[in-house]
Structure 1
Amino acid sequence: MEGLIMTAQLLLGLSILVGLHELGHLLAAKAFGMRVEKYSIGFPPKIWGKQIGETEYSIGAIPLGGFVKITGMIDESLDTKTLSAEPEPWEFRAKPAWQRLIVMLGGIIVNVITGVFIFILIVYSRGENFITKQELNKHGIVAYDLAQQLGLQTGDKMINVNGKDFEKLMDLRSPEVLLGTDGYYTVERDGQQLRVDIPNDIMDKLSDKNVDFFSVRMPFIVGQIQKESNAEKGGLQQGDKFISLNDQKIQYFDQFSAVLDDMSGKSISAVVLRDGVEKELNLDVTEEGTLGFGVVQDTSMLALSHRDFTLGESLGAGTAQAFNVVFLNIKAFGKMFSGDVSPSKSLSGPIGIAQFFGGEWDWANFWRITGLLSMVLAFMNLLPIPALDGGHVMFLTWEIVTGRKPSDKFLENAQKVGMVLLLGLMTYAIFNDVYKLF
């Protein structure tokens, strides 16, 4: 079922974004009097179509893109049979270069507008939940394996990042920090301040499966008890809160785990708080160092902050968040070219994108991912690769600057090269998705 929900969200999100992108091209073309022969969401074979005026509107069976076919334009269809004749007034090639440039930018512009609009609405409707620096440093962090490799330790208090103060936990793990160069954390440990460097390839390491970084350290309570487990046999109950193990004070789960590891296969005395009353229990620890219960973080010990935004504030914050997606993509490309980030871990095809949506239908998350993809789609389409909008923009900019139009044969061959590159990239992304599943 999760796979079906992921697929449904992917198809709906892509259909919205591709439909709007191609609509941007169509509206710009029609505004300048160009004839638009076809408008399709999805690639052939066609499963539905309707002729309205001069344009056929259709839905294709392969929902991984779309296209508009504008008369007199060399596009992915490579239909050049009419190019030997003199251009008609309604053809793409008959129009001034600046008009053709606006048509090619139409889809990108609409995707940017869509992404910005979605981010503004999310900021305005949901506000922001966050953990402040003050709350984080009440208990410090829990450092997982990767953080420990960097030199962080559980219990560290975070002072600043890259020499600058921060407001909230997410500032420490933001893409700007993790995609930066020569970054570092300043932490307080045992009353001393220490510098912990962030490696330039940290995002590559975080891309590995089952790798976590660090999170806020919180007290815990006992969750669901496994049937016939040592926890159940020893009288432990859901909702209990550990006070001590073998007379050692226990507040955090990392402390609890360390004691149990030392007592594997042995009995241990515990004091728990239950309904405001302390209870003494004797518990048998398994050879694996467990008792057999789930762990629930005691969020009552942590104050979660919330901020609402006015409409005016949302316009600024939402727009900034949307364009930040583009800037981070540029940084990520730079990291790939420098070798700090592996393309195989960073590039995702349809399977990887579907996983971003998740296996539960959450409309807030759906629109957040759709807004992000809208900005990514705009950025990717602006890349100067033939067969992408950016390739057309590159050639049209050359024509405007130099006054010389590339020959139709050159544009046709460039389109073929671009199609090969894109098909190769798509094939790589799909196989990479399958590989990462295993």
Structure 2
Amino acid sequence: MEILLYLGGILFMLVGLGVSIGLHEVGHLVPAKLFGVRVGQYMIGFGPRLWSKRIGETEYGVKALPVGGFISMSGMYPPSTRTGPANGVFAALVQDARVANDETIAEGEEERVFYRLPVWKRVIVMLGGPLMNLVLAIVMFTLMASGIGIQQASTSVAAVSECMIPAAVEQQQTCTADDPAAPAAEAGFQPGDRLVSMDGEPVTTFAAASQIIQDSPGRTIDVVVERQGKDIDLRLTPVAAQRQETDAQGRPVTDDKGRPVTRSVGYAGITAQLEYAHQPIWTGAEMTWQQVVGVTDLVIQLPQKLWNVGESLFTGSQRDPNGPLSVVGVGRIAGEVAATNAPVLDRFAVLLNLLGALNIALFVFNLIPLLPLDGGHVIVALWDGLKHAWAKVTGRPAPGPADATRLVPVTIVVAVLLIAMGALLIIADIVKPLNLLG
């Protein structure tokens, strides 16, 4: 059964990735057709064709390698004017790209080409794909946060510690006769109690109750709990315990000699029950923005992160849990999540969060301003618009459209680097996978 659940998690992620890629290409396809561009192909995947069907002028299909997708638009670049053989490898690559581009321009439909669109329409077509992934992420995070809810500590008691186990005894898991009773157990707390008030103050969150306990080491406080529909009065005396200080980002605080800074806080020995709390409808958008910022930071540090992945692969050092993953790594984590011994709703929420994060990665990565990524095509369109605007301001004749085929060598270099990056991450995710679930 565990193996089936593991495979089910992988299948969930593969299907989700396929849908995300498919809708990404729809984000390009729809505005292109609305603006009158002839679209010859809409394909999910690369490599050998598995299935296709022509509807009107467009062939829709699926290819063998589900690692991306594309639409083939007529006249992505202006037609070539050069004739004769090309001299040099790079010149030959440029010439081949121009010939392939010319073949997409159907006879009699020379006006239905991408490069003739106004700059703003070209930008819309190219941004349509990444924006589709952004919308998908918002929908997924909203469904998770507002539909399912986010797990939070409630005011109900899940467990009560029986005793105070000394911190120095690392292997001890159960209480002994010599261990003093925990304050909550001594006060009479029971699992299932719901906290009503502490020290005369009503409590509506476990965080508020915890703060009162932490602020009261060695001081007896009055507590009211609801038990089987009745209010029960208890008297709790938290014991003093040392707690390490953390900053606003949750990082340990140290003194000028690098030693951890601790403070004395009250400890009771109660654990809260977790429950799903439905969040406001805008929470999904807030979570999306946080993910965008995080993935953008990852992309900025990508060379260093990839170096660390390679170093951990060849030296056996610990792999950075915040580093990049391949599709293999994401699928493996999805399988592990699906196979964990947790409620189905918990597992589905984590998988949904993982798929939302994957769409954020597709959104951010495709905005990198390098061909063949969508951001590269946007830069070409904006450069074309800038040239025309400058010509208009200076009174010069309108220049010809920007010929992005000149950038084919750069495009090939970027493509090779992307393939190398993918291969490195796949090998690392197989040989030295991340263990995010502990």
Return the TM-score normalized by structure 2.
0.60
Q: 1:397 to 1:158 in 2, by over 3 A?
A: farther
Which one of 101, 105, 124 corresponds to residue 102 of structure 1? Answer: 124
Structure 2 gap segments, 5+ residues each: 78-92, 154-205, 216-240, 253-257, 311-319, 340-346, 389-398
- Counterpart in the other structure of 1:120: 142
> 1:275: which partner in 2?
none
Match of 2:272 in 1: 302
Report the counterpart of residue 435 of structure 1 in structure 2: 431
What is the aligned partner in structure 2 of residue 395 from structure 1?
380
Residue number in structure 1 paired with 2:151: 129
The one-letter code matched in structure 2 to 1:357 is A
What pairs with 1:287-298 in structure 2 (closer than 5 Å)?
A: none
Q: 1:66 to 1:303 in 2, by over 3 A?
A: same
CA gap 1:65/1:185 in 2 versus in 1, 3 angstroms: farther
Structure-2 separation of matches of 1:27 and 1:62: 24
The answer to whether the 8 Å contact 2:242/2:265 transfers is no
Aligned residue type for 1:8: L
Amino acid at match of 1:46: R
Separation of aligned partners in 2, 1:421 and 1:336: 12
Alignment of 1:385 onto 2:370: yes
- Say yes or no: does 1:91 pair with 2:113: yes
| CA distance 1:160–1:91, change in 2 (3 Å) | same
Corresponding residue for 1:81? 100
Q: 2:73 aligns with which of 59, 70, 75?
A: 70
Give 1:187 deviation, angstroms: 6.2
Percent identity, please. 28
The question of 1:415 aligning with 2:411 is answered yes
The aligned length equals: 300
The one-letter code of the counterpart of 2:119 is A
**In the aligned structure 2, how far is the partner of 1:80 from the partner of 1:110?**
31
- Tell me how far 1:51 sits from its aligned partner: 0.6
Contact 2:50/2:64 (8 A) holds in 1: yes
Gaps of 5+ in 1: 141-154, 163-170, 179-183, 193-216, 220-299
Q: How far, CA to CA, are the matches of 1:51 and 1:374 in structure 2?
A: 28
Aligned counterpart, 1:364: 349
* Greater alpha carbon shift after TM alignment, 418-427 vs 12-21: 418-427
Deviation sequence 1:201-234 (CA, Å, 0-9, x none): xxxxxxxxxxxxxxxx996xxxxxxxxxxxxxxx
Tell me which residue corresponds to 2:329. Answer: 352
Q: Which moved more, 1:35-44 or 1:1-10?
A: 1-10
Question: 1:308 corresponds to which letter in structure 2?
Answer: H
The alpha-carbon deviation at position 78 of structure 1 amounts to 4.9
SS of 1:358's partner is helix
Aligned to 2:49: 46
Give the counterpart letter for 1:5 in structure 2: G
Distance 1:70 1:395 in 2: 16
Shift of 1:124: 1.4
SS of match in other structure, 2:424: helix
Cα RMSD for the two superposed structures: 3.8
Shift of 1:416: 2.1
The within-5 A match list for 1:251-290 is: none
d(CA) in 1 for partners of 2:30 and 2:268?
A: 54
Preserved contact between residue 111 and residue 378 of structure 1 (Cα < 8 Å): yes
- Measure, in 1, the Cα distance between the counterparts of 2:370 and 2:27: 20
Q: Does the aligned pair in 1 maintain the 2:329–2:433 contact within 8 Å?
A: no
8 Å CA contact 2:305, 2:324 repeated in 1: no
Gap change, CA 1:4 and 1:340, over 3 Å in 2: closer
- Look up the equivalent residue of 1:127 and give its one-letter code: G
Contact 1:161–1:185, Cα closer than 8 Å, also in 2: no
Query: Between Structure 1 and Structure 2, whose CA radius of gyration is higher?
Result: 2
Amino acid at match of 2:387: T
How far 1:392 moved relative to its partner?
Answer: 1.0
Using the TM superposition, give the Cα deviation of residue 189 of structure 1 relative to its aligned residue in structure 2, in angstroms. Answer: 3.1
User: How far 1:379 sits from its partner (Å)?
Assistant: 0.4
Structure-2 change in CA distance of 1:133 and 1:102 (3 Å): same
Letter matched to residue 294 of structure 2: L
Counterpart CA distance in 2 for 1:336 and 1:66 is 23
Q: Distance in 2 between matches of 1:20 and 1:337?
A: 29
Amino acid at match of 1:161: D
Question: Are residue 16 (structure 1) and residue 19 (structure 2) matched?
Answer: yes
Q: Distance in 2 between matches of 1:317 and 1:158?
A: 31
**SS of aligned partner of 1:90:** coil
Equivalent position of 1:265 in the other structure: none
Paired amino acid for 1:55? T
**CA apart distance, 1:323:** 1.4
Mapped partners of 1:15, 1:381: distance in 2: 16
Letter in 2 for 1:83: D
Kindly state the Cα deviation for residue 364 of structure 1 after the two structures are TM-superposed: 2.6
Map 1:174-323; keep pairs closer than 5 Å.
Answer: 188-190=262-264, 301-304=271-274, 307-309=277-279, 313-314=280-281, 316-323=282-289
* Secondary structure of residue in 2 paired with 1:386: coil
Moved more, 57-66 or 408-417: 408-417
Q: Partner letter of residue 37 of structure 1?
A: G
2:157 maps to 1:157: no
1:83 aligned counterpart, secondary structure: helix
- TM-score by structure 1 length? 0.60
